[in-house]
């Protein structure tokens, strides 16, 4: 994930979209309809959701084949640490991803005072 801050509201929206589309291509209008039905988000907040999903690396945006003004979206599947470690050979990007996930865990679940004490020792 590229985001430094864990966004639980974004995780909820990602799960809702993943349940609806999996890794299939979809248009913004379909995402708007799904999110309005299930989370009661308005269109302005859906633009923010799409932007944040793209920043976090969970959403791929492609050009629409019929209309150049529109985009087509596809969600990237959720990948957890066990999936990465189950590979026979880890690549540099796999290790980088593991380190980022570990940093996210530390950032969200460990008190900074504890880390400062450990650094001091």
Q: Which two tokens stand for residue 109?
A: 């679940």
Residue 1 falls inside a structural domain: no
Same domain assignment for residues 49 and 16: yes
pLDDT of residue 84: 66
pLDDT of residue 5: 54
Residue segments in the chain with a per-residue pLDDT below the cut of 50: 1-4
62: domain range? 8-75
Element (H, E) at 93: helix 92-109
Same domain assignment for residues 38 and 59: yes
Same domain assignment for residues 61 and 85: no
CA 48, 54, 58, 60 dihedral sign is positive
Distance CA 9, CA 82 (A): 24
**pTM of the predicted model as reported, rounded to 2 decimal places:** 0.61
Residue 86 falls inside a structural domain: yes
pLDDT of residue 3: 40
Same domain assignment for residues 67 and 90: no
* Residue 76 DSSP symbol: P
């Amino acid at each position: 994930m590229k985001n430094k801050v864990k966004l639980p509201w974004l995780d909820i929206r990602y799960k809702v979209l993943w349940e609806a589309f999996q890794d299939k291509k979809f248009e913004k209008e379909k995402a708007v309809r799904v999110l309005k039905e299930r989370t009661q988000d308005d269109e302005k907040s859906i633009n923010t959701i799409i932007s944040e999903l793209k920043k976090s690396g969970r959403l791929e945006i492609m050009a629409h084949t019929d209309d150049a003004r529109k985009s087509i979206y596809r969600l990237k599947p959720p990948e957890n640490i066990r999936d990465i470690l189950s590979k026979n050979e880890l690549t540099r990007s796999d290790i980088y991803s593991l380190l980022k996930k570990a940093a996210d865990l530390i950032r969200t679940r460990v008190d900074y005072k504890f880390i400062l004490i450990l650094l001091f020792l």
